[in-house]
Amino acid sequence: MYVFNADGTMQQANPDAGDPTTSDSDGKGIWIADGSRIRGKWMEITADRTTHKFVSRGELPFDIRVTGDTFAGTLSARFYDSNGKLLQDFPAARVNGKRLKLP
């Protein structure tokens, strides 16, 4: 679930049970409108569920096109250790979704 605020900030959330070893259920970020596209980046901090210690910092840039109540675009991800060393690099992949609406 993504929430895009009018001031250019955003929040991201996914179910906490999605990853049994680390906590990565919340992210914060920024976005800008660029014509018919929305470009931005969000970040999450991951912690070990057992020790509660820092595991990584994830940076996830995205570029999406909104059409009515749907969006489609790309999202990539890079994860770094506490010293800024790259741990994982996931190339851009296709993403799509739709606006949550009340019935």
pLDDT at 23 over 70: no
pLDDT at 17 over 70: no
The region, left, alpha or beta by phi > 0 then psi within -120 to 50, assigned to residue 47 is beta
Q: What is the pLDDT of residue 71?
A: 93
pLDDT-based confidence at 36, cuts 50/70/90? Answer: confident
pLDDT at 33 over 90: yes
| CB of 41 closer than 8 Å to CB of 59 | yes
Q: What is the pLDDT of residue 38?
A: 94
Return the ∠ at Cα 11 (arms to 10 and 13), rounded to 5°.
155
Q: What is the pLDDT of residue 18?
A: 64
pLDDT of 41-98, one tens digit each? 999 988 888 888 998 999 999 999 999 999 999 999 999 999 999 999 999 999 999 9
Euclidean distance between the first and the last CA atom of the chain, given in angstroms as a whole number: 18
